[in-house]
Amino acid sequence: MTLIECIPNFSEGRRPEVIDQIAAAVDGVDGVSLLDVQSDPTHNRCVITFVGHEEPIAEAAFRAIARAADLIDLNQHEGAHPRFGATDVCPFVPLRSEEMPVCVETAHRLAGRVAAELGIPAFLYEDAARMPEHANLTVIRGKGFEEMREVIGSQPAKTPDEGEARVHATAGAVAIGARFPLIAFNVNLDSDDLDLARRIAVEIREKDGGMKCVKAIGLRLDDGAVQVSMNLTDYRVTSMADVVEAIGRRAGAAGVAIRESEVVGLLPQDALVRLAQSALHATGFTRDQVLEARVLDTLL
């Protein structure tokens, strides 16, 4: 058996009672450990993290997707974060890189079940993609639920891997995948200049010629400030420190400071070790110098 992490994102960040019910669906599966639940009202999105072996974790993911479909109506949903499903994405992440094939197989089986039993079309993305057009989640999602209703099935990138080429009336579609650990990381600027945040996002993101393995958009927060919201798809290539430096330099040129940053969900320990190496210029620092890591190694 293989221990897997699952980090589904749901299109709900404002109703705690709904988030609690989705989390309870996960927590009710034997053999699954619920690690973290985070929500954001501006994005109107929540992220739930849990671990387990392949069979129970697939069951927990299915129950969460089903519960979200019962409770979330995308026709009534508004938020700053792009979305096309009540469960927008459901990635499986191996705790050891050599076990990625198990995550791919788990994603494939779950996608088939979601389409067959819930009537929600499923796209398989990143390492689980069956066609090259589905490797990039951004290409699949496009402009979100409203666009997907019109274009689903019209081209390979918009054709689901499982289920009919027709969105669920209220739950939309879902992207189910397998991938390397991703870091969801946001940098908030001490400014209300949305154009500045959007310009910085364009300049630093990979698809527009910026930093490798960075996806970014500029958003306005509820308090009027602005944010550069990012996914770092490979922290070994571009780290949190790298993007903070790049954003700070561009914001500073406009006379704006960084107000704060925030991590969404959980971080791999290796990312923090690399961050310490960079921030402290401690090139020889390793995981073996982390007290808790050494204790766990001794006990396990």
Which CATH number covers residue 204?
3.30.70.670
Look over the chain and give the mean of its residue pLDDT values, rounded to a whole number: 95
| pLDDT on residue 1 | 78
Burial class (CB in 10 A: 0-12, 13-18, 19+), 280: exposed
**In this structure, are 70 and 18 located in the same domain?**
yes
Tokens of 300: 């396990």
Q: Are residues 153 and 189 in the same domain?
A: no
pLDDT of residue 89: 98
Three-state secondary structure call for residue 172 = strand
State which residues form the domain around 156: 3-178
Contact 178, 248 (CB under 8 A): no
Asked whether residue 28 falls in the same domain as residue 111, the answer is yes
CATH number of the domain encompassing residue 54 = 3.30.990.10
The predicted-structure confidence for 61-99, as pLDDT tens digits, reads as follows 999 999 999 999 999 999 989 999 999 999 999 988 789
**In this structure, are 251 and 279 located in the same domain?**
no
Q: What integer pLDDT is reported at residue 97 of this predicted model?
A: 79
Q: According to the model, what pLDDT value does residue 2 have?
A: 87
Q: What is the pTM of this model?
A: 0.88
Q: Residue 173, by phi and psi: left (phi above 0), alpha (psi -120 to 50) or beta?
A: beta
Residue 168, pLDDT above cutoff 90 = yes
What's the average model confidence in pLDDT over 24-51? 96
Q: Model confidence at 299, in pLDDT bands (50, 70, 90)?
A: confident
Q: Which residues does the annotation mark as catalytic?
A: 81
Residues 85 and 234 in one domain: no
Asked whether the beta carbons of 197 and 183 are under 8 A apart, the reply is no
Domain shared by 259 and 202, yes or no = yes
pLDDT band at 286 (very low <50, low <70, confident <90, very high): very high
Same domain for 54 and 165: yes
Yes or no: say if 59 and 162 are a contact pair by the CB < 8 Å rule. Answer: no
Contact between 83 and 77 (Cβ < 8 Å): yes
Given a cut of 70, whether residue 300 has pLDDT beyond it is no
Nearest 10 degrees: Cα torsion 55, 233, 132, 101? -30
Range name among 131-145, 173-187, 243-257, 286-300 with the lowest pLDDT average: 286-300
Do 261 and 275 reside in the same domain of the chain? no
**% of the chain exceeding 90 in pLDDT:** 92
Q: Are residues 200 and 251 in the same domain?
A: yes
pLDDT at residue number 152: 97
75 and 88 both lie in a single domain: yes
Say whether pLDDT at 131 is over 90.
yes
User: In the predicted model, what is the mean pLDDT of residues 191-218?
Assistant: 97
Tally of domains within the chain = 3
Q: What is the pLDDT of residue 204?
A: 98
Q: Are 248 and 160 members of one domain?
A: no
CA distance 180 to 300: 24
Return the higher-pLDDT residue of 292 and 131.
131
pLDDT of residue 255: 98
- 173-185: average pLDDT: 96
